[in-house]
């Protein structure tokens, strides 16, 4: 339970830091069929596939019909904090190293949202982007944790396998060592026996020599 609370606290701290790092700017980009006003959202430590899928889900929650992946079009999204009418949302997603850039344009009857046209709606859009980035980061963190758990599991499995093999080889080495010790004892016994036989041979040869000499004397 304590570990779970620590993990929740770490996620909360990470999300707070993420909110501070998310950058929302306005500009003009080639989006929605022309050079149009848009919002450029920079999300650090993100994956473009996760971000684009999360944004598609966000637009579907807003009752929009969504087409595309890296370049999305959400038709007739219901975003009450931005407009009382439905909004067409154009979105492009770009991966830049570990950062994802979202380029988003809100078309309200052909008029694209800017801070100058509607400051309140623009602030609502900015808040939406920050909240979205936090939630997307949370989902990515869950995915990263899941993958890391699998990595840890695989590493533990490899360690267990290596320890098992090492134990098996150690047992084999001990068996070989025991056999080598036994063989060494046998070699020493055979050497001692050979040395004893050498002495016996010398004695036997002397005896044979004496017998031959006795035979020559008795001729």
- From first to last of the 219 residues of the chain, give the pLDDT tens digit: 444 433 333 333 344 444 458 899 999 999 999 999 999 999 998 999 999 999 999 999 999 999 999 999 999 999 999 999 999 999 999 999 989 999 999 999 899 999 999 999 999 999 999 999 998 888 888 888 888 999 999 999 989 999 988 888 888 888 888 888 888 888 888 888 878 888 888 888 888 787 788 777 776
Q: What is the pLDDT of residue 219?
A: 66
Distance, in Å, from the CA atom of 178 to the CA atom of 173, rounded to the nearest integer, reads 8
Q: Report CA torsion sign: 162, 163, 166, 171.
A: negative
Distance, in Å, from the CA atom of 176 to the CA atom of 189, rounded to the nearest integer, reads 20
| Residue 168 CA from chain centroid, whole number | 31
**Quick one: residue 109, left, alpha or beta (phi over 0 = left, psi -120 to 50 = alpha)?**
left
**Quick one: residue 49, left, alpha or beta (phi over 0 = left, psi -120 to 50 = alpha)?**
alpha
Distance, in Å, from the CA atom of 115 to the CA atom of 131, rounded to the nearest integer, reads 19
Q: What is the pLDDT of residue 20?
A: 52
* 109 secondary structure, DSSP code: T
Q: Report CA torsion sign: 106, 112, 116, 120.
A: negative
Distance, in Å, from the CA atom of 136 to the CA atom of 58, rounded to the nearest integer, reads 10
Distance, in Å, from the CA atom of 195 to the CA atom of 63, rounded to the nearest integer, reads 102
Longest dimension (CA), the chain: 147
Element (H, E) at 75: strand 71-77
CATH 3.30.530 fits 16-147, yes or no: yes
Tokens of 205: 């040869």
Q: What is the pLDDT of residue 70?
A: 93
Element (H, E) at 108: strand 99-108
Domain ranges of the chain: 16-147
């Amino acid at each position: 339970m304590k570990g779970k609370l620590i993990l929740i606290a770490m996620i909360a701290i990470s999300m707070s830091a993420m909110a501070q790092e998310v950058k929302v700017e306005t500009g003009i980009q080639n989006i929605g069929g022309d050079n149009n006003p848009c919002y450029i959202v920079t999300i650090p430590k993100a994956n473009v596939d996760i971000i684009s899928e999360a944004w598609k889900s966000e637009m579907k929650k807003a009752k929009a019909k969504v087409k595309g992946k890296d370049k999305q079009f959400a038709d007739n999204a219901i975003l009450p904090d931005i407009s009382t009418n439905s909004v067409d949302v154009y979105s492009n997603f770009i991966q830049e190293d570990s950062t994802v850039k979202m380029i988003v344009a809100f078309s309200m009857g052909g008029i694209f949202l800017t801070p100058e046209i509607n400051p309140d709606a623009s602030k609502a859009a900015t808040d939406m982007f920050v909240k979205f980035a936090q939630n997307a980061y949370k989902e990515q963190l869950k995915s990263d944790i899941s993958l890391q758990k699998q990595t840890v599991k695989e590493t533990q499995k490899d360690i267990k396998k290596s320890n098992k093999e090492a134990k098996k080889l150690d047992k084999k080495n001990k068996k070989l060592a025991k056999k080598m010790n036994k063989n060494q004892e046998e070699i020493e016994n055979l050497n001692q026996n050979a040395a004893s036989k050498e002495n016996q041979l010398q004695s036997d040869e002397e005896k044979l020599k004496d017998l031959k000499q006795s035979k020559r004397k008795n001729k």
